[in-house]
Amino acid sequence: MSQPLPDSIPPDLFAARADAIAAAARELALAGWTPATSSNFSMRVDSEHAAITISGRDKGKLTRDDIMLVDMQGRAVGTDARPSAETALHTQVYRRWPEAQAVLHTHSRTQSVASRLFAKHGVVRVEGWELQKAITGHTTHEGVLEIPVFPNTQHMPELVAHVDAWLDSGNPLSAYLIDGHGIYTWGRDMAEARRHLEALEFLLACELDLRRLKA
Ligand SMILES: [Zn+2]
């Protein structure tokens, strides 16, 4: 690694996280979910630090050198590189869920269209789909999976406050959409975060298809 890491972080650990983030980003880019350098990805490194994508890089060509270290307030550690503009949303997840190890944020067409369509309701209510069981904590298709849709803003503290307000009113949360923007989800490891993201993409596409067919 070119950047000096704090002594408490083994270089191999950071490199492993950076490689895992870069590999996930390349695969999600291939799926077409990260158009025009959008999207950002992170993994927890320890209780005080996360590895996250550097702002503005092509996610289809990401390598470990495109990943940097931030503290849990979203400040760069040991580098002049600029973290994603949305770093505060990643570190919020790590602060609120000590077990969270990976956060994925993508801008697929399905996610973007669904966010616009459901913004007026403030939430997408998904029920009756077998694939809801891919979301940790959901054990049956008979349950309801609620994915809130928060208004988009370039002012991250506002978005952080929306997420906090949702959680502080006792609502479960495994993912959220931002209107006209994309989705955030996370997991206890990269595999769980990927499973959540793929399931959510599928469920949102199904909900959109149903509305198209009724039209
Ligand atoms: Zn974004």
The model's pLDDT over 147-180, given as tens digits with 9 standing for 90+, comes to 999 999 999 999 999 999 999 999 999 999 999 9
196 is in an annotated binding site: no
Q: Is residue 44 part of a domain?
A: yes
**Is 160 exposed, middle or buried (CB count within 10 Å of its CB: 0-12, 13-18, 19+)?**
middle
**What is the distance in A from the centroid of ligand 1 to the CA of 214?**
30
Interstrand relation of 175-178 and 144-150 (parallel, antiparallel or unpaired): parallel
The 10s digit of each residue's pLDDT in 37-90 is 889 999 999 999 999 999 988 888 999 999 999 999 999 999 999 998 899 999
Which amino acid does the sequence have at 62? L
Q: Is residue 35 part of a domain?
A: yes
Give the pTM: 0.95
Q: Is residue 6 part of a domain?
A: no
138 is in an annotated binding site: no
Q: Residue 83: which domain range?
A: 11-214
CATH number, domain at 41? 3.40.225.10
**What is the distance in A from the centroid of ligand 1 to the CA of 3?**
25
**Number of folded domains that form the chain:** 1
Q: Is residue 15 part of a domain?
A: yes
Q: Is residue 4 part of a domain?
A: no
Q: Is residue 161 part of a domain?
A: yes
**What is the distance in A from the centroid of ligand 1 to the CA of 151?**
13
